[in-house]
Amino acid sequence: MSLDVSRPDLVVGVVGTGAMGRGIAQVTAQGGMRTIMYDAVPEGAAAARNAIVATLKGLVGKGRLTAEACEAATQNLVVSDDLAALSGCHVVIEAVFEDLSVKQKLFAELERVVGETTIIASNTSSIRIASIARTLKRRDRVCGMHYFNPVPLMKLVEVIRAAETAPWVVEAMVALGKRQTRVPVVVGDTPGFLVNLGGTAIGTEGLRIYTEGRATPSQIDAVMRDAGGFRMGPFELMDLTGIDVNFPARRIIYEGFFHDRRMTPSPYHESLFHAGKFGRKSGGGWYAYDEQGNKADPGADHSSTAEPAATVVAAGEVSDKVAALFMAAGAKVVAHDDGHSPIVVTPLGDDCTTACVAAGLDFRRTVAIDPTGAIERRATLMMAPGGDTAARDTVSAALVKAGTKVTAIKDSPGFVLQRMRAMIANLGCEMAQIGIASPADVDTAMTLGLNYPQGPLAMADAMGVKETHAILERLQAITGDDRYRPSQWLRRRAMLGLSATTPE
């Protein structure tokens, strides 16, 4: 059995015409397919069609769409108030709200209406496809098509294959996604699918650093943006998507993976959820917002009136990038300890305390600097408990003189960026390991779905696969926490000197 989705007479039904359904209908119609829109709300589908047509005309006015393409897409949009009108569809995509019983009832009704070979897909973002299809007679023709909002702008679509989904269905829906000008990735039917599961790492590790009292939300976000190249840090992202959305999703994923420590939610996250502090939409979450949605950011820059260090002692193998910043500030970088100048270390995975004890350094004068990421844009400093803040401040002043911003955090294994990127990379490796998606699809999904600067496996390569593995091993050893256990996918490639993207 097969379905040629390139056929010119292909008919696609869209059930549910809210924001997601409208977007799906728009890209389907623009892809040259007859699109039948249905909504249980009277006149809901007609209103959605009018909104799509207005959007298309707006694109024409902006020069982004030709008048001919607008007219063709408009002609492809058909409205019906009767579910039976979908009987002739080759594909039906459901986009109603996230309620399992509602979806099961709808799919049962669709099965009675459509033909034997019609593919029925759900746009669910969190419900297992197998659960939706459980009561159907033909579960093999059911799959997921998880689009991202706003659909016309977000190119990614996750094609979800459940245990009983036939290969021809997956093949057809990948082709359909391409005809809609989306970028499809094939994903297993697991909690959170690919993007929502992969996005767990940035939020949970940011919350872990905050919960440990190592850094503030503003500091963590600034490091991720400036040094890590992310468009948003984890706390900004939680506030944007809504804590009423992301906290329940984190809990579903945690429970779905039977309390895997890598997925553990935070009580601080839960407390904001119960307080109704949902982020931008409620005027406050991790940050406060004014009526225009502008964030009140307390700032992440370390400031002091100290004079820039004239000499710093480089203990061990200090990063060349860090040494270059001091030299740019006019400071001498020496190997011999003169007994009074600040000592600089650039550990991977360790905290400042561990680095001082291991090398026998004077912890009062030792300042640890994260050598990873774009340190020319933002450098992260930390000291051991009891450290002399005067040493930190003079080091900070020298870095600021060299032209970089500085964030000073509490002593933390792996600083902020090392921990965050290692955990993102590790979860990406684990998704490849357990077969949720191919290495290439993992990276594609995370860059397109979450706007990451790199996919998780590419991120491991950029950091160094061996170095990423070593950071995780140090984090696990220092904290004793199983959440930092390296994926076997990562371990094997680190041992063999291979790229993290190397397939099995």
Note whether residue 339 is domain-resident.
yes
CB count within 10 Å of CB 459 equals 23
Percent above pLDDT 90 for the chain: 96
Answer yes or no: are the C-beta atoms of 218 and 231 closer than 8 Å.
Answer: no
Is 431 a member of any domain?
no
**Whole-number Å distance between alpha carbons of 196 and 250:** 9
Distance CA 212, CA 268 (A): 11
The residue range of the domain holding 391 is: 311-408
Q: 109 and 248: one domain?
A: no
For the segment 315-352, what is each residue's pLDDT rounded down to a tens digit?
A: 999 999 999 999 999 999 999 999 999 999 999 999 99
Q: Per residue in 450-495, pLDDT tens?
A: 999 999 999 999 999 999 999 999 999 999 999 999 999 999 999 9
Between helices 465-479 and 417-433, what is the axis angle to 10°? 110
CATH number, residue 396? 3.40.50.720
Closest among 159, 311, 286 to 232, alpha carbons compared: 286
On the question of pLDDT at 169 being above 90, the answer is: yes
Domain boundary among 270, 296, 322: 296
CATH number of the domain bearing residue 272: 1.10.1040.50
Contacts of 259 (CB under 8 A, 6+ apart): none
DSSP string, 85-96: GGGG-SEEEE--
Residues 275 and 336 in one domain: no
- For residue 417, is it within any domain? no
Average pLDDT over residues 426-440: 97
Q: Encode pLDDT of 92-123 as tens digits.
A: 999 998 899 999 999 999 999 999 999 999 99
Q: Is residue 301 part of a domain?
A: no
Burial category of 472 from C-beta neighbours within 10 Å (exposed 0-12, middle 13-18, buried 19 and up):
buried
24/153 same-domain check: yes
Rounded Cα distance between 347 and 156, Å, is 37
Residues 387 and 337 in one domain: yes
The residue behind tokens 């921990």 is 419
For residues 391-397, average pLDDT: 98
* pLDDT tens, position by position, 265-278: 999 999 999 999 99
Cβ-contact 316, 333 below 8 angstroms: no
Q: Can you tell me whether residue 79 is helix, strand or coil?
A: strand
Whether residue 432 has pLDDT greater than 90? yes
**Do residues 343 and 288 both lie within one domain?**
no
Residues 282 and 362 in one domain: no
The verdict on 68 and 95 lying in the same domain is yes
pLDDT for res 443? 97
pLDDT, averaged across the chain: 96
The domain boundary residue, chosen from 383, 408, 433: 408
Q: What is the pLDDT of residue 401?
A: 97
Q: Work out the average pLDDT over 398-402.
A: 97
**The predicted structure's pLDDT at residue 119:** 98
- What pLDDT is attached to residue 296? 95
157, 217: one domain: no
- pLDDT over threshold 90, residue 126: no
Q: pLDDT (tens digit, 9 = 90+) per residue, 43-92?
A: 999 999 999 999 999 999 999 999 999 999 999 999 999 999 999 999 99
Q: Which helix (H) or strand (E) holds 311?
A: strand 311-314
Confidence of residue 212 (pLDDT cuts 50, 70, 90): very high
Q: Which residues of 327-365 are buried (b: 16+ CB within 10 A; e: fewer)?
A: eebebebeeeeeeebbbbbbbbbbbbbbbbeeeebbbeb
- Give the mean pLDDT of 247-258: 92
Domain shared by 228 and 371, yes or no: no
Half-sphere exposure of 250 (CA within 13 A, CB side): 27
At 98 the pLDDT is 87
Strands 288-289 and 295-296: antiparallel
The yes-or-no verdict on residue 427 having pLDDT over 90 is: yes
DSSP state of 309: P
> Which pLDDT value is given to residue 388?
97
Q: Is-contact 440 447, C-beta < 8 A?
A: no
Residue 491 forms part of a structural domain: no
For residue 377, the model assigns a pLDDT of 98
Strand, coil or helix: 195: helix
Backbone φ and ψ for 78, nearest 5 degrees, come out as -125, 140
Q: Are residues 282 and 324 in the same domain?
A: no
Asked if residues 231 and 225 have their Cβ atoms less than 8 Å apart, the reply is yes
Residues written for the chain: 504
User: What pLDDT sits at residue 306?
Assistant: 97
Q: Average of pLDDT values for 156-160?
A: 98
Q: Are residues 165 and 221 in the same domain?
A: no
Same domain, 216 and 156: no
In whole angstroms, give the CA distance from residue 162 to residue 142: 8
Residue 342 placed within a domain: yes
| SS3 state at 131 | helix
Under the banding of pLDDT at 50, 70 and 90, the label for residue 1 is: confident
**Mind telling me the catalytic residues?**
125, 146, 158, 196
Report residue 142: phi and psi, to 5°.
-105, 135
The reply to whether 177 falls in a domain is yes
Within a domain: residue 92? yes
In whole angstroms, give the CA distance from residue 386 to residue 374: 29
Q: Write down the H helix ranges in 31-82.
A: 44-61, 67-76
Domains: count for the chain: 3
CA dihedral 196, 198, 203, 205 (to 10 degrees): 160
Boundary residue ending a domain (189, 214, 235): 189
Whether the full predicted model's pTM is greater than 0.75, yes or no, is: yes
* Cα atoms found within 13 Å of the Cα of residue 9, Cβ hemisphere only: 1
Q: Which residues contact 155 (CB under 8 A, 6 or more apart)?
A: 181, 182, 183, 448
